[in-house]
Amino acid sequence: MHGPGFEPGLTPRKCFKSEIEQGELFFTGIIKFVELKELSGEFLERYKNKDTRRGFEGPIRTLLKELDGEDLDREFLIAFRDRWRYKPYGDTLFKKLKVFFNWLKEKKPELASEIEDWRHMLKWEGKKKKQLFSEVTKNVDWLRNIIEGIFNVKVKKEELNDAFAKLRFLTAVILQATTGMRPFELKKLTWKHLEGFENRNYFILPHEISKTPFDRVQPLTDEAKWLLSELRRAWEKHGKALNLKSDVVFQYRESRKVIDLLRKEGINFTQEDLRDFATTMSTNILGVPPALESAIAGHQTDKWKLELESYIHMKPEDLANEYLKHWNGVKILTDRQKKEIEKIISKL
């Protein structure tokens, strides 16, 4: 594994603003700092009542102060959310910013889906207690409900394209829900990063495409490995027919389309919710040591800095096995859902 640190002058937010997907140059949703500052002023001017306006001024000032001249994007929102999600002020802060973001969707319609995701990310958890087993069972059902919804939407017109898009999104859901990968890490993943996964139960996520300053072992559950294997087989078999020009495994635009289709069906979630599911399931229910979960998902690495050292220097296969011994008994897909996926695979 690589030691801590990024290349000189590089940060995750500066490095990962664009990517090649299916042969097209794609830019993630951002709002320039100067424009955001102007829009915030316009938003506040709408409120003639001084007390009402003052209620929004504080939260917006906090947001702009922490941006410190940087542009607003998903990566910043994740860090911002994590800083305030348990603090008392975070409750008011998030409520007010959600109203502001809702107004921003009207001003920036081209970024409406991205901004809606940002709103969903601002969840204050200051009063939440550790979840009981019954609550996590509900969360597993929540995840299964997402999977059920994927079966029922039409992603592409052609049968081959539709089957492939569904298999790809299902694979992304299971992979993220069991490893806790960040959304922007998932959409940077290429088959080169996954090379050799068929012969082992993990792959290495390089620090160059991650927020963490070290390479991370990403363990593969049996379900995740099965789906990845089938996706790889379909990719090699139908790559030309599907016009798969890029080596990027999970296409961002396609994922956004599926999420939007599911939202129209009443299934509301973000890819960040899948990461949260993995973290909650691992530490609160399955008993994964927090430092081990941090080594896999890159979660709260500053908090577990000392404990992390023992994990990130383990052999990859040993680290993967240590994590998977907690996950091996977990079955996300129901028997019926597995049969539905097999029907999708049969079309590929």
The residue among 294 and 202 whose pLDDT is bigger is 202
Convert the pLDDT of each residue in 197-248 to its tens digit: 999 999 999 999 987 888 999 999 999 999 999 999 999 999 999 999 899 9
CATH level 3 topology of 133-346: hpI Integrase; Chain A (1.10.443)
For residue 95, what pLDDT is reported? Answer: 92
CA–CA gap between residue 76 and residue 84 (Å, rounded): 13
Contact 97, 63 (CB under 8 A): yes
Main-chain dihedrals φ then ψ at residue 221, nearest 5 degrees: -70, 170
Region 297-323 average pLDDT: 82
Give domain limits for the chain.
Answer: 30-121, 133-346
- Structural tokens at position 109: 């319609």
Indicate the average pLDDT of the chain.
Answer: 86
Convert the pLDDT of each residue in 8-56 to its tens digit: 444 444 443 443 333 333 345 799 999 999 999 999 999 888 878 888 9
Convert the pLDDT of each residue in 267-291 to its tens digit: 988 888 999 899 889 988 899 998 8
Residue given tokens 């409900």 in the structure block = 145
Percent of the chain residues topping a pLDDT of 90: 62
The residue among 58 and 303 whose pLDDT is bigger is 58
Q: Is the pTM of this model over 0.85?
A: no
Amino acid (one-letter) located at 55: G
For residue 133, what pLDDT is reported? Answer: 42
Q: Is the pLDDT of residue 304 over 90?
A: no
Region 78-99 average pLDDT: 89
Contact 193, 247 (CB under 8 A): no
- Which of 105-119, 247-261, 295-309 is predicted least confidently? 295-309
CA–CA gap between residue 269 and residue 120 (Å, rounded): 8
The CA-based dihedral angle spanning residues 153, 107, 21, 341, taken in that order and rounded to the nearest 10 degrees: -20
Region 241-266 average pLDDT: 93
Region 329-344 average pLDDT: 95
For residue 14, what pLDDT is reported? Answer: 43
